[in-house]
Amino acid sequence: MRILLLSDIHANLEALDACLAAAPAYDVAVNLGDIVGYGASPNEVTDRSRELGTIFVRGNHDKAATGLMDLEDFNPMAAAAAIWTRNELTPENFEWLRALPHGPVPLPDFPGVQLVHGSPNDEDEYVVSLGDALTPLITVASPLTFFGHTHLQGGFFANGAAADGFRPEYKTVGKTESVSLQLKTANRYLINPGSVGQPRDGDWRAAFALFDTDAQIVHFHRAPYNLKSAQDRIFAAKLPARLATRLAAGR
Ligand code: ZN
């Protein structure tokens, strides 16, 4: 089975459309949360996400926009975007986002695979460094966890006493590209497909991944998208301008 992995779309419709256009054929789409927040197309992106599949994990921005989380933990820019999103969402989309499940969520039919937004141990925790990854890598029963939240494409593996992080290495900075990772049965993994709509790894292109369960290969992808259109929507919505300008740097 081929599983499309989407995470941290953040209401960026142009980036989501580019990912779907660039994605190879897939059987199932899963979404690792932060469907909304930051970007200016929360309803369009929520509608698309609902059409794409049935397997979801909630993100902290989904919680913040629907009143499930205190905005005190958010920086002023993120808080402003959460309030704007809350006012913008249709009642139906608001209720749908509010009802998204807490991770980890098992991947149906694949007992060794689970889905989370942050860490397997805490949905709001950031797994940025190998140090952050070690405890979940070693203690969690599931050998393969797909996560989001950090907006950094790549991940971590452990094999006995050995452990390391990895990032896909691309050849260009502006083209549609993919890099494959062959999974090894002896390893345990935490893998982040990257952020569709707010990449933060210095690459402005929309990020996603595809997991081929038969071949045990994760294909990381980057897709250029209509950056100017996404930015213009943010300016027109009078969201903080930095949310638009930072998209160009992928930071
Ligand atoms: Zn996010």
Q: List pLDDT tens digits, range 29-86.
A: 999 999 999 999 999 999 999 999 999 999 999 999 999 999 998 999 999 999 999 9
Kindly report, residue by residue over 181-229, the tens digit of the pLDDT: 999 999 999 999 999 999 999 999 999 999 999 999 999 999 999 999 9
Q: What is the pLDDT of residue 213?
A: 97
CATH, residue 145? 3.60.21.10
149 C-alpha to center of ligand 1: Å?
Answer: 5
Q: What is the pLDDT of residue 217?
A: 98
CA torsion sign, 214 to 157 to 37 to 15?
negative
**What residues does 162 pair with on adjacent strands?**
159
Q: What is the pLDDT of residue 91?
A: 98
59 C-alpha to center of ligand 1: Å?
Answer: 7
The mean predicted confidence, pLDDT, of the chain is 96
* Residues whose beta carbons lie less than 5 angstroms from ion ligand 1: 8, 34
Query: What strand order describes the sheet that includes 105-107?
Result: 105-107, 110-115, 144-146, 188-192, 154-159, 162-166
Cβ atoms 24, 176 nearer than 8 A? no
160 C-alpha to center of ligand 1: Å?
Answer: 31
- Asked whether the predicted pLDDT for residue 19 surpasses 90, the reply is yes
Q: What is the pLDDT of residue 209?
A: 98
> Cis link prior to 104 (omega < 30° from 0)?
yes
134 C-alpha to center of ligand 1: Å?
Answer: 21
62 C-alpha to center of ligand 1: Å?
Answer: 9
- Asked whether the predicted pLDDT for residue 160 surpasses 90, the reply is no
d(C-alpha 187, C-alpha 225), whole Å? 34
Give the three-class secondary structure for 8: coil
- Looking at the 3D structure of the chain, how many domains does it have? 1
221 C-alpha to center of ligand 1: Å?
Answer: 18
186 C-alpha to center of ligand 1: Å?
Answer: 30
The domain in which residue 117 lies consists of 2-249
246 C-alpha to center of ligand 1: Å?
Answer: 14
